[in-house]
Amino acid sequence: MRTFMQNLFKPLVELLHWVLVNIHDALAAIGLSNRWTWGLAIIFLTLLVRVILLPLTWKQYRSAQAMQALQPKIKELQRKYKKDRQKLQQETMKLYQQYKVNPFASCLPVVLQIPVFISLYYAIRGAPYLDKATTDALANAPFLWLPHLGLPDPYYILFVVYIVTQMVSTELMMTPQTEKQQKWMMRAMPFIFVTFLYRFPSGLFVYWITTNLWTVGQQLLIRKMTPHPEILLARQAEKAKNKPSGRFMKALTQAQDQQRTKAGARREAESRLKSEAGIADDDEEEAATGAEAGAGDGADAGEDTGAQAAVDGAGRPAAGADPRQRAAKSRREASRPAKRGGRRPPAKRTKKRT
């Protein structure tokens, strides 16, 4: 698994290692000792990554603000179409298109940081395709109270600082409309992460703490610069009138339209099959009813003929034979279904004499 990850992120690992080495050389050229150069190289690399991601981060915050302002409208749609999930999705997508809001924009900066974090791990710990001398120099370099950037913090100071900075940045990223359950999940994430990260190299904690401090300052600055969510939403709607929808939203809308068309065709086919099956069942029931009626009429005619012959031959029906035949005929007529409806007439109820 380790070899696979090293090869998967090889171009990015080599790029980050090259940047670290060049920053280290530049700091060493101005007279800084080895105790500071590699640690500061990681910090400057972190700042460089954050500057590159700044446009996406700005879009992330504006999208989060717009989503915050849209929450009342979304909840209204949820109440209106709570029994029709497909219609709810359709109307929600129309709402996003109307105000030019991308619900997935807030995830992109976080997703892009994951490959950087993994690649920096291998840039510090080393990989077969990296220069061994510079890799060993980085892993064994001290910084502040840390004896080696390639080993965990023996005093767990970075461990505590990471939790504090992560919680502060998380609180700043929350909005009043954030669900209570989601808030507690976000607050618990730092404690979940440290169970996996506490044995990681100190250099990675330096990177992550610098990222959190940048996020705190960035969120405070953006909050002062951006207007109120309602004003931002009105501006988004005004811009949306003259600006076409983005490719991502168009693709998402087309996918939902195709899914809705397939679902309609499937329901139509099912209803047609049910209708054809119902007609076939009616035809079979009528045929069975006709056959049963014909058989009963034939049996009745045979009995009537026999009874008439007995009357003609003996002058009267045989003793005891006529009541049984009449009773059998009455039972058949009572059990015979109607010609069209296929239902048996209700049996007559007789009260018992006391």
3-class state of residue 143 by DSSP: strand
Sorted by sequence, the CB contacts under 8 Å of residue 157 that are 6+ apart come out as 145
In the structure encoding, which two tokens stand for residue 189, read together? 């994430």
Instruction: Tell whether 339 is covered by a domain.
Output: no
The answer to whether residue 296 is domain-embedded is: no
**Domain assignment of residue 164, yes or no:** no
Number of domain units in the chain: 1
| pLDDT at res. 30 | 92
**With the CA atoms of 317, 321, 323 and 324 taken in that order, what torsion angle do they form, in degrees rounded to the nearest 10?**
-150
Structure tokens at 224: 């002062």
> Domain for residue 331, yes or no?
no
As a whole number of angstroms, the distance between CA 75 and CA 84 comes to 14
Inter-residue contact 95 to 262 (CB < 8 Å): no
111 or 204: which leads in pLDDT = 204
Residue 294: inside a domain: no
Q: Are 92 and 74 contacting, i.e. CB atoms less than 8 angstroms apart? A: yes
Q: Is the pLDDT of residue 206 over 80?
A: yes
Mean pLDDT along residues 5-29: 91
If one compares 110 and 44, the residue with the highest pLDDT of the two is 44
Residue 225's domain spans which residues?
2-151+201-255
Output the pTM of the full model.
0.62
Residue 256 pLDDT grade (very low, low, confident, very high; cuts 50, 70, 90): low
pLDDT of residue 178: 65
**By three-state DSSP, how is residue 163 classified?**
helix
Q: What is the mean pLDDT of the chain?
A: 75
The pLDDT value recorded for residue 126 is 83
User: Above 50 in pLDDT, residue 318?
Assistant: no
CB burial class (10 A; 0-12, 13-18, 19+) of residue 211? buried
The DSSP element (H or E) to which 54 belongs, if any, is helix 54-80
- Do 36 and 28 form a contact (C-beta atoms < 8 A)? no
Angle, CA 168 vertex, CA 49 and CA 46 arms, to 5°: 15
- Say if 347 falls within a structural domain: no
> What is the pLDDT confidence band of residue 112, given thresholds at 50, 70 and 90?
confident
Q: Residue 22 pLDDT more than 90?
A: yes
Min mean pLDDT across 66-75, 190-199, 204-213, 285-294 is at 285-294
Say if residue 283's pLDDT is above 60. no
Q: What is the DSSP letter of 107?
A: G
Q: Which range has the top average pLDDT, 190-199, 228-237, 244-253, 316-325?
A: 190-199
Residues 6 or more apart in contact with residue 89 via CB below 8 angstroms: 256
Say if residue 24's pLDDT is above 90: yes
Rg of the chain over all Cα atoms, to the nearest angstrom: 41
The secondary structure of 238-285 as a DSSP string is: HHHTTSPPPHHHHHHHHHHHHHHHHHHHHHHHHHHHHHHHHHHHHHHH
pLDDT digits (tens, 9 = 90+) for 70-104: 777 888 888 888 887 888 888 888 888 777 777 77
191 occurs within a structural domain: no
- Tens of pLDDT, residue by residue over 29-74, are 998 988 899 999 999 999 999 998 888 877 777 777 777 777 778 8
Residues 6+ apart with CB under 8 A from 227: 235
Q: pLDDT value at position 313? A: 46
Would 165 be classed as within a structural domain? no
Per-residue pLDDT band for 308 (boundaries 50, 70, 90) equals: low
